[in-house]
């Protein structure tokens, strides 16, 4: 009887322990938090003012006695393609020069206007262009291949000095092919779009080096005004300036003409102040800026043209 009671107690104790384990909360397995990458803010980028001064067709394609260099469609087409690509990068202020007469005419009618000068002038030409057509005729099939090839050349000129500092060429080719098998398939007439495609590919071919050269210039901007404790600079959000940025104010060095080359040499600039950006102003590339406070140093409002603002 005593042993029976002991067994019953042990059994009850085991059941109670099992029930407790079954109903006890299970600890959740730790899961590593998902890290969402935060894109880095765009780096400060000085936006050059660029103009395409001339883009001509130096080939015989599309030329006639009634067509001069100004009215040649091939050169204008290449110029428009290049201007569109440069604008799409968002890194430059692309100024119109091909139709500047029309713009100035509209400005005079509106009794206003503010046509500004460029920092860099792009001069280019279509140096090669041609079209070929190949055909194949078999017993049961035939084919036709149309091909267009273009080569463009450009050079960059510093407007201030007239010095050419970069040149590049680009090649492009576009093809279209049609086939007929036992009289079935597609046929095509003369494909005029191949001209556009070949020019576009040629411009793209030299675009990366062109953009890289233009974007390599160190970032800087102008000091616009000093009003008490506020300092206004000529760059804003679209040039990568952010609230909280610390910028340096440099006083330009003395300029000395080098008799050997005829060019002016600017002696090293000296740091005179440090700014902290407190707010951004403007809503477009042409009117943006930033408001900063003077964190250290001193500025003379009477000699603002001698200062330039650079990154830390």
Q: How confident is the model at residue 134 (pLDDT cuts 50, 70, 90)?
A: confident
Arithmetic mean of pLDDT, 249-274? 89
Distance CA(147)–CA(123), nearest Å, equals 27
Which domains occur in the chain, in start order? 48-103+116-129+152-171+194-214 (3.40.50.10610), 220-311 (2.40.10.410)
Q: Are residues 82 and 54 in contact, defined by beta-carbon separation less than 8 angstroms?
A: no
Does residue 4 or residue 280 have the better pLDDT?
A: 280
Residues in the chain: 312
How would DSSP label each residue in 121-148?
A: EEEEEEEEEEEEEEEEE-SSEEEEEEEE
Look at residue 25 and tell me whether its pLDDT is greater than 60.
no
Other Cβ atoms within 10 Å of 162 Cβ, number: 8
Q: How confident is the model at residue 22 (pLDDT cuts 50, 70, 90)?
A: very low
Joined tokens for residue 244: 């909280």
Other Cβ atoms within 10 Å of 157 Cβ, number: 17
Q: What is the pLDDT of residues 235-260, one digit of tens each?
A: 898 888 999 999 999 998 888 988 88
Average pLDDT, the chain: 77
Look at residue 62 and tell me whether its pLDDT is greater than 70.
no
Look at residue 107 and tell me whether its pLDDT is greater than 90.
no
Q: Is the pTM of this model over 0.85?
A: no
Distance CA(147)–CA(191), nearest Å, equals 9
Arithmetic mean of pLDDT, 33-40? 41
For the stretch 163-169, contacts whose Cβ atoms lie closer than 8 Å and that sit 24 or more positions apart, written own/partner, are 163/263, 165/213, 166/210, 166/213, 168/206, 168/209, 168/210, 169/127, 169/206
Look at residue 59 and tell me whether its pLDDT is greater than 90.
no
Distance CA(270)–CA(103), nearest Å, equals 41
Q: What is the pLDDT of residues 183-232, one digit of tens each?
A: 545 555 557 788 889 999 999 999 988 988 888 878 888 899 999 889 99
Q: Are residues 269 and 253 in contact, defined by beta-carbon separation less than 8 angstroms?
A: yes
Pairing of strands 230-233, 223-227: antiparallel
Task: Report CA-CA distances (Å) from 265 to 112, 178, 257.
Answer: 37, 61, 6
């Amino acid at each position: 009887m005593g042993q029976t009671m002991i067994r019953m107690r042990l059994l009850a104790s085991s059941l109670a322990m099992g029930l407790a384990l079954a109903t006890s909360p299970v600890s959740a397995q730790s899961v590593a938090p998902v890290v969402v990458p935060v894109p880095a803010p765009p780096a400060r980028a000085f936006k050059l003012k660029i103009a395409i001064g001339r883009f001509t067709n130096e080939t015989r394609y599309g030329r006639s006695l009634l067509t001069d260099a100004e009215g040649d469609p091939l050169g204008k087409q290449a110029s428009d393609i290049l201007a569109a690509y440069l604008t799409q990068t968002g890194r430059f202020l692309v100024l119109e020069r091909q139709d500047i007469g029309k713009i100035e005419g509209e400005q005079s009618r509106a009794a206003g206007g503010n046509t500004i000068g460029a920092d860099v002038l792009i001069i280019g030409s279509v140096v090669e262009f041609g079209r070929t057509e190949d055909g194949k005729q078999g017993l049961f099939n035939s084919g036709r291949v149309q091909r267009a090839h273009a080569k463009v050349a450009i050079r960059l000129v510093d407007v201030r000095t007239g010095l050419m500092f970069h040149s590049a060429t680009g090649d492009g080719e576009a093809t279209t092919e049609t086939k007929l098998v036992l009289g079935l398939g597609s046929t095509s007439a003369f494909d005029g779009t191949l001209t556009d495609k070949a020019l576009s590919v040629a411009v793209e071919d030299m675009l990366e080096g062109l953009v890289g050269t233009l974007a390599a210039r160190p970032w800087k901007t102008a000091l616009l005004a000093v009003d008490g404790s506020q300092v206004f600079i000529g760059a804003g959000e679209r040039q990568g300036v952010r609230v909280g940025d610390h910028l340096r104010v440099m006083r330009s060095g003395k300029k000395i003409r080098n008799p050997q080359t005829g060019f002016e040499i600017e002696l090293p600039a000296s740091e005179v102040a440090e700014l902290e950006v407190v707010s951004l102003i403007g809503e477009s590339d042409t009117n943006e800026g930033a408001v900063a406070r003077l964190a250290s140093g001193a500025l003379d409002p009477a000699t603002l043209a001698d200062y330039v603002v650079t990154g830390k």
